[in-house]
Chain A
Amino acid sequence: MKSAPHRNLDSDTYEISLVGISKSFGGVAALSDIALKIRAGEIHSLVGENGAGKSTLGKIISGITTPDSGTLSLGGQEMSFGSPRDALAHGIVTIAQELAIVPALTVAENVLLGDEPRARGFIKRRELRRRFDELAKKVGFEFSSDTIAGTLSIADQQKVEILRALSRNASVIIMDEPTAALSRIESHALHEVIRSLAAEGKTVILISHFLSEVLSLSDTITVLRDGQLIKTMAASEVTEDGLIELMLGRTLGALYPAKTHPKFNSPSVMFVNNLSAPGVSNAWLSLRAGEILGIAGLVGSGRSELARAIFQDSPAFSGSITVNGAVLAGKSPRVALQKQVVMIPESRKDSGLLLGRSIQENITLSSLEKMSKWGWILRSQESKITKQALELVKVKSAGAKQKVSALSGGNQQKVLFARMLLNSPRVLIADEPTRGVDVGSKRAIYDLLTDLAKDGLGIIVISSDLEEVLGLAHRVVVMRQGRIVTELTGRAMNEQAVLEAAFAEQI
């Protein structure tokens, strides 16, 4: 994978130099005494677990946050940025996780937003288009300037942001988790863009959870842990395991728990027979008790759509689903829950959690009827059940009355597991169970899934992280364009085979 053309980095031209940077939020140190030098024209990655301080560091460089102490120099000159605008004026641009695109405007209008060529208050449209085309050509993006930005894929929207950054003559581009929402192909495309930016002499600061991405792209990697800078090193000097060890301060052991195969006589819990639903055509599937079935495929291949159809969140056009011999067909997830089929949705913030409410309310939400009488919530029973559920999924919190938004991503995910486990499931579908979860907590979720399977649940794991699917599942099906195209078990279940099936006909 290591194909990045490493540039000559012997020169002492440091673009950015930080000395003694510290920052605390409400008494908790987010960064302490950071000293970091970033060379001009390099790709420098910041890695660390959630809460390690990498995003805070990015925000200090881009002027969004001001440090409590320490100095920031740019090209040898000491700076003090009061706002992102100050940083922007010095050529530092951030491309955040949440994109700032105006969906109703065209690509060209978005790129030159706030900087449109104008005459007497009117925008000179032809001039606008000309400037855009020039810029896009220079970077090698193929865009029609008149495309409405809202219709683009997320990867393309990211390119729009990059163009916008370049149009402001950015010399330093900070990217916070740029590929978190991208499919594999889109990620590759973005990697090429990042490499070409660096080749042009731009400095790229990359904040990412994906270590393989970090290793293949970066010239230099800085590891942060608990707000401290652990080590800065050349990417060629370190391996993925080495990085994990530095990030955690200990060895992780194996990333995946040992697989316990279901007993040869364990019964099937679910059949999906020739199911067609929005985004899914003619899907056949069976699931045994104690089995973890992985669904792989590209984003948009129908994985999540199949999950939603099974969970009765979207209507089936034809075909049927049987769970323990009974037909599962209804108009809402409520019906699936009654049949003991549960799903952990893809996006916990959008479709899982009530962020403003307590951990307890979030956990008991789908099983309140069991802990109430005549619609009256039995509070002592509710807290007892919550406590048991929290122990089961091992959530670390300051108490069940704490707001769920105060938890880390991994613990939030466990809260959703707890909610669903209270429905005494037979079938559990986990869609991207470790998205946005840091390396240390991932293992905890894998352990949970493995333990649940041992207890006899049928589990379906959907993930864009191919290693994760292969590391957890006993059997993998690959989807492409709404269809299940292949099923892999045993030795045939490897990365090569999955990728071939997922990409076939497209390359």
Chain B
Amino acid sequence: MSKQGSRDSVVRFVPQSLRSWRSSGILLPFSLLFVVLSFSSGAFLNPTNLLNILDQQSAFLIIAAAGTLVLVTGGIDLSVGATYALASCVSAQYAEKHSILASVILGIVLGLVVGIINGIIVAYLKINPLIATLAMSFVIGGLGSKFTKGNLIVLTDKPEYGKIAQTVWLGVNTSIWIMAVIVVLLGILLTRTVIGRYMIAAGGNAQAARLAGIQVNRVRIIAFALSGAAAAVAGIIDASRVLSASAALGSTLAFTVLAGIVVGGTSIAGGDGSVWLTVLGVLFIALIGNGFDLLGIDPLYQQITLGLILLVAVGMDAYGRSHQR
């Protein structure tokens, strides 16, 4: 018992969400990788490079933060890639003739609608979320291709659209600012609000949540709605970053995002997770990519490394759960 006490006093300075080794698992490898890269590549530890990584990853981080909530509620959203592409195309196209604000709102509303539909299918029609959102991703992907007729939408006539993500404020792009605000809000939503607590309950033990008076279906729909909206925001940010949009983008995005969430340590079984660890997970994968580029390693090994890391992460999750009781 005394051993427990001394350990507690050491970890008192560590945030609550990091106290178990399972949930803090990613912090150590992340720090290690960061240090190794700083020493092995002169170009790595450099504000331009780091901000560049954040800029490139802002879309992924936004989607992954909302995706964490979906996983916590016991769901999974594979339609985010298609939603991301559709929202970016529709918003960009609309922006050619209308105001930026209107086109942004249109894109977000579109994502929200897709998310709510996902939620309703999963919660009320009781269709497995994996299959439901996979099916939806085909439907939305098809709509996107139909909408753009397979063409790339280029916004050279409307450079103002680029201001959404490319405005520099305090030396940092708005893409990063927007991402930071959304990630913090979603993180707070999960840990400090009633709805966040309900998400954890719904994913941890849906029957218990229902008997405690929680409207589990409503909670699930909210999580999916946030995921859809986040995908749309991410799509708009990326369209603004490169001033173009294509329905063909985003086909593997859902899996990359999912990998980031799981590597971060959020359980695929639901009922547990952390937005802030998801951020580390996504950035961990990004750092591997960046490091491999800087060190001139064949990108082929990137994928293999990512796959292996993912297996380790899921293995640790399973191990942690089977040894919990």
Contacts and interface: CB of A to CB of B under 8 A. Distances in A.
B207 interface: yes
Interface in B169-198: 192-195, 197-198
A332 B215 contact: yes
A52 to B, nearest CB: 19
A334 B1 contact: no
Q: How large is the interface on B (under 10, 10 to 19, 20 to 34, 35 or more residues)?
A: 20 to 34
Interface in B227-263: none
Given A27-B1, A334-B213, A351 B205 contact: yes
Interface in A322-367: 332-334, 337-338, 343, 345, 350-357, 361, 365-366
Contacts of B194: 368-369, 372, 375-377
Interface string B202-227: 00110111111111000000000000
B212 A419 contact: yes
Contacts of A361: 197, 200-201
A27 B213 CA distance: 41
B197 A368 contact: yes
Q: How large is the interface on A (under 10, 10 to 19, 20 to 34, 35 or more residues)?
A: 20 to 34
Interface in B1-45: 1, 3
B324 A405 contact: yes
A375 B193 contact: yes
Interface string B256-276: 000000000000000110000
Give the one of B194, B198, B324 with max A CB within 10 A: B194
Contact of B212 (A27, A357, A366): A366
Contacts of B197: 361, 365, 368, 377
A313 B201 CA distance: 18
Give the one of B3, B207, B209, B212 with max A CB within 10 A: B212
B192 A354 contact: no
A351 B214 CA distance: 13
Contacts of B207: 350-351
B97 interface: no
B149 interface: no
A355 B212 contact: no
Interface of B: 1, 3, 192-195, 197-198, 200-201, 204-205, 207-215, 271-272, 324-325
Given A354-B209, A419-B212, 20 more contacts: A27-B3, A311-B211, A334-B214, A337-B213, A350-B207, A350-B208, A351-B205, A352-B208, A353-B205, A354-B204, A354-B205, A354-B271, A356-B272, A357-B201, A365-B197, A366-B214, A368-B198, A375-B194, A376-B192, A377-B194
Interface of A: 27, 311, 313, 332-334, 337-338, 343, 345, 350-357, 361, 365-366, 368-369, 372, 375-377, 379, 405, 419, 423
